[in-house]
Structure 1
Amino acid sequence: MSYVVKYDILPSKMINNVLEPDQARIDQLEKLQKFFTKLEISILGEGIRNPIVITALSKDDITTRYGGSRLMIAQKHNMDIPCIIADFDNVFPEAKIIKEEEIPSYYENPPTHFQLRAAKLYIHGCETIHLKNKTPEKQIEKQPKSMKKVKNKYL
């Protein structure tokens, strides 16, 4: 394995969202189930429940591997976001190094499958919890976890 798996809460704006859905996909999911509206209400109401997965090749090359929709909402609101990091070049020296078996413990709703491969970290099977919530509007009043003041050591 040519990277170290780490965990940290990072400023969303420093991550290049290569997984952000295009407008046609956003429109399609909104029409079918109000996917992004419900996701945004959920994130603003209760914070980001589960970390995204990112690859950090250098300070100028930090990209999403999983969680592009959550990152899109976090960037829209300039929020910090919890991240599982495949750190290839010690881009985040202060981030906590974690073991493979610890990965699920960083999720409120753990993925059903994760695998560390030589070149990438794969995580699949996270539930879309926000779609199961019948009254997400009531959550908007809660203080989001990810918006609590965090000393930003990366910007």
Structure 2
Amino acid sequence: MGNIQGRSLTGAWARVLAVTLCAVPVLVGVTGCRNIFAPPPCMPPEFSVSPAAAKPGDQVSVSAPDTTCDARYGTDAQVQVTVKDATGTAVLEELAPMSDDGGFTFVFTVPAGVAPGKAGVTAYPYNLDWCDDTGVNNRAAPGAPALVRVSCAERLVPLVVLGG
């Protein structure tokens, strides 16, 4: 757990130290305490779309590098990629393999019949709750997930659909 002057802190003593370290700043009016023994938040990596403009029938790549934190998505992790047209209607929704650290590359063909104009792409780890903004990977917790993804702000990367 922790280590102070060569002594290992485990179990109850580590919790007592964390509570003490958090209680002192709260008593003096400072906020923002977090468990110093917990890993830092690990959010999904930023993804990119290339090219930024394409016409129906063209191929587009959506990709993200591995995170620099310990995401632990698992060996069977997937990313859900959604393409939305100018009205916000999903015109493509696919699952693709993703690395344990969140990296992926997904190539799709812009569907026929998508109206020209601004569209957008989203990509999120599949079947995980990221709307809590803590970066906690709910899949890594023991037992069945207790949370379900709720409506929250989603990252939408622009894709301009050109006329055929």
TM-score normalised by the shorter chain: which range applies? under 0.3
Highest CA radius of gyration, 1 or 2? 2
Higher helix share: 1
The structure in which a higher percent of residues are strand is: 2
Q: Please give the TM-score of this superposition, normalised by the length of structure 2.
A: 0.22
* TM superposition score normalised by structure 1: 0.23
